[in-house]
Chains A and B, each alone.
Chain A
Amino acid sequence: EVQLVQSGAEVKKPGESLKISCKGSGYTFTSYWIGWVRQMPGKGLEWMGIIYPGDSDTRYSPSFQGQVTISADKSISTAYLQWSSLKASDTAMYYCARLPYGNYRINFFDYWGQGTLVTVSS
């Protein structure tokens, strides 16, 4: 059974750094792209970026390029999303999700993590 298990909720202050995680199991982690999706409170879904854990090839949505860093550690089947300096506007639920196809350009999300709630407040 494919599973993506995300790290727990975080409460941070503006300016702090943060790294959240997403551990995959039940499939060959290095053979599938993993993506991150933001959902701000009461709002819709926004795709942030994707990574291929096999070689760490990473692609970002233009809206999130330079704002976050996506990485992966294939030795422990875990992908990460990190911020160097959080803002209040980063408050949101963040989901990781697997992409079923090898072609990163034509792809969608077939399995989702449970989400990590990030709250940034002074």
Chain B
Amino acid sequence: EIVMTQSPATLSVSPGERATLSCRPSQSVSSNLAWYQQRPGQAPRLLMYGASTRATGIPARFSGSGSGTEFTLTISSLQSEDFAVYYCQQYNNWPWTFGQGTKVEIK
């Protein structure tokens, strides 16, 4: 089973600033990586798939990059609605696995 390590666990950012989240699989997952956002009390929402393709309706301030064993989610200018927990998921190997999440909080 592939272990997904996200860092940092918590990221404190001021509104309008840039946030950079990391996800590192324990072995290569090619570009088969998705990112999800989970706001408090809500279901997760797909942000990115294929490492860098934004899902339908996701604003351009979200971008994803990476392949293999190193991935990044960047939020270029944080808005109030972006403060949430973000999870990465690899879907290259069975069983699919999620990272433990990065909480983006208001500084």
Quick check: A108 and B46 within 8 Å, CB to CB?
A: yes
Q: Which residue of A lies closest to B30 (CB)?
A: A106
**Bound: A107/B32 CA distance, A:** 8
Is there an interface contact between B95 and A47, defined as CB atoms closer than 8 Å? yes
User: Which of A10-18, A67-75, A80-88, A111-119 makes up part of the contact surface?
Assistant: A111-119
Interface residues on A, range: 20 to 34
Question: A107-B91, A108-B91 given as contacts; is B44 within 8 A of A46 (CB)?
Answer: no
CB-based contact A95/B44 at 8 Å: yes
CB pair B98 A44 closer than 8 Å: yes
Known: A108-B49, A108-B91, A110-B55. A47 touches B43 (CB 8 A): no
User: Contact string, B67-107, partner A, CB cutoff 8 A, digits 1/0?
Assistant: 00000000000000000000101011011111111000000
CB atoms of A45 and B34 under 8 A apart: no
**Are B43 and A113 in touch, CB under 8 angstroms?**
yes
Question: For residue B98, which residue of chain A has the nearest CB?
Answer: A45
Q: Which chain A positions have C-beta within 8 A of B95?
A: 47, 61-63
A113 to B91, CA, bound (A): 20
Evaluate contact between B55 and A45: CB separation under 8 angstroms: no
* Cα A113 to Cα B43 with chains together (Å): 7
In this assembly, does B45 line the interface, its C-beta being within 8 Å of a C-beta of chain A?
yes
Q: Is the CB of B91 within 8 A of A112?
A: no
Pick from B43, B44, B92: contact of A106, CB below 8 A. B92
| CB atoms of A106 and B46 under 8 A apart | no
Question: Nearest chain-B residue to A109 (Cβ)?
Answer: B46
Instruction: From known contacts A106-B92, A108-B34, A108-B49, infer whether A45 and B43 are also in contact, taking CB-CB under 8 Å.
Output: no
Interface residues of A (CB under 8 A from B): 37, 44-47, 61-63, 95, 97, 105-115
Q: List 28 A-B contacts (CB under 8 A).
A: A37-B44, A44-B98, A44-B99, A44-B100, A45-B89, A45-B101, A47-B89, A47-B95, A47-B96, A47-B97, A62-B1, A95-B44, A97-B44, A106-B91, A107-B91, A108-B89, A109-B36, A109-B89, A110-B46, A110-B49, A110-B55, A111-B46, A112-B43, A112-B44, A112-B45, A112-B46, A114-B43, A115-B43
